[in-house]
Chain A
Amino acid sequence: MRDKLLMLLYLFCLLYLSFSSHIYTLLIALVLLLVFLILSPIERKLKLLKHAFFSFFLFSFFISFSYLLFNQKALDYFLMINLRSFDLSLLTFIFLRMVNLYKAFDFSKTLGFLLVMTVSNAITYNRLLKDFKDAIRSRTLQKPERKTLVAFTKRLSLFFFEKSINTSREVQEAMRSRGFYND
């Protein structure tokens, strides 16, 4: 229940900040978010702050700064859009750290299982992909030729495709044996 309530609160704050265009409101929201982050039991706060900053900074700064170059009187726009973007990113990152997303979505059994399974598969596949990349790096002294890279991509897609089919078959059987389906 706690996770679902937090999700509702998050959605309310997200909407409020999205609609807000006043620099002072956005600045107060940023201060409140920072105070909340400092006082909260969240671990690795600085890392979260860095992650939130870099997730918005590149796009936001590039767009708003380019606009500022064209319109020299647009400093207030520059401040407003970067503040709003940072507020929303920080809010999302704090929410994601505080809430168990799987519990927040468990109002639907299917959606909950789908999220858990997809994430666990994605993490496993990502680790395997890293191993494959390390393997090709360790076996080629110079930068691999285009032909080698094409063959590598082919093998990768084949491997992950077959793994996906096999995994889905195994998981389906495991779910059936554990009574997930009501037959």
Chain B
Amino acid sequence: MHIPDGFLAPQVYIPAYLVDIGLLFYAFKRFKKDLKEKTIPYLASLSAFSFIIMSIAIPLPGGTSVHGLGVASLSLLFGPWTAFLSISLVLFLQATIFGEGGITSFPINSLSIAFLGSLCAYYTYLIAKRYLEDRTSLFLSGFLSTLISAFAVALVLGIHPYLFKDPFGKPLYFPFKLSLVLPAVLFSHILVGIGEGILTIIILRALRGRI
């Protein structure tokens, strides 16, 4: 989510940076252990690949289209930790080099979209494919990963008015409470989730045999 700087309290984004850096460091160690000298070029190419997936518009029934995130596709193709790493790298570059999204919101986006989204996509697919057909499991994986990311971002935003207010009760950062933010963010992400589900089916069906 494009949350500009200024809406998140340092008491939230500093710990989030610490957790995120720790998780990224762990993911990188795992990745490096598996790939050794292939690590840097492989990760750079995968991140560029996920950057492109984020730029592809997914056609939805009814003639509209949305931009996917590619989190579920990457997670199912390369594993959740690799997806977390490459999507975080893209989010970081978007916030710094391309100037999209705030520096202070980067760890929240990285943890909610890249980390939670990747894990949710991977395990949703693992569980769903036991009971449902492949296509439905892929769709669910993309759909739920988007909703869980949206839920996490809404949760972080929604706790601000409870925690950070001046002596007169006025908010200092994000102003709306959970009761308003959660439904607003979740409902607006249903369409994005459907797009992500469709994108996951398309990409996985095209690429699965090639890894």
Contacts and interface: CB of A to CB of B under 8 A. Distances in A.
Interface of A: 14-15, 17-19, 21, 51, 55-56, 58-60, 63-64, 66-67, 74, 76-77, 80-81, 84-89, 92-93, 96, 101, 110, 113-115, 117-119, 121-122, 124-126, 129, 143, 146, 149-150, 153-154, 156-158, 160-165, 167-169, 171-172, 175-176, 181
By size class, the interface of chain B is 35 or more
Nearest to A154: B206
Given A117-B40, A157-B207, A167-B41, A18 B10 contact: yes
B79 interface: no
Interface string B142-173: 00000000000000000000000010001111
A150 B166 CA distance: 51
Contacts of B103: 14, 88, 92
A156 B104 contact: no
B209 to A, nearest CB: 11
Interface in B57-94: 58-59, 61, 63, 65, 73, 89-90, 93
A158 B52 contact: no
B53 A157 contact: yes
Contacts of B9: 18
A76 B73 CA distance: 45
A121 B38 CA distance: 16
A125 B61 contact: no
**What are the 3 A-B residue pairs with the smallest beta carbon separation, nearest first?**
A121-B48, A85-B6, A88-B5
Given A14-B103, A117-B40, A153-B56, A164 B49 contact: yes
B45 interface: yes
Nearest to B51: A122
A149 B8 CA distance: 38
Contacts of B8: 18
Given A119-B93, A153-B56, A154-B202, A167 B4 contact: no
Contacts of B51: 118, 122, 125-126
B44 A114 contact: yes
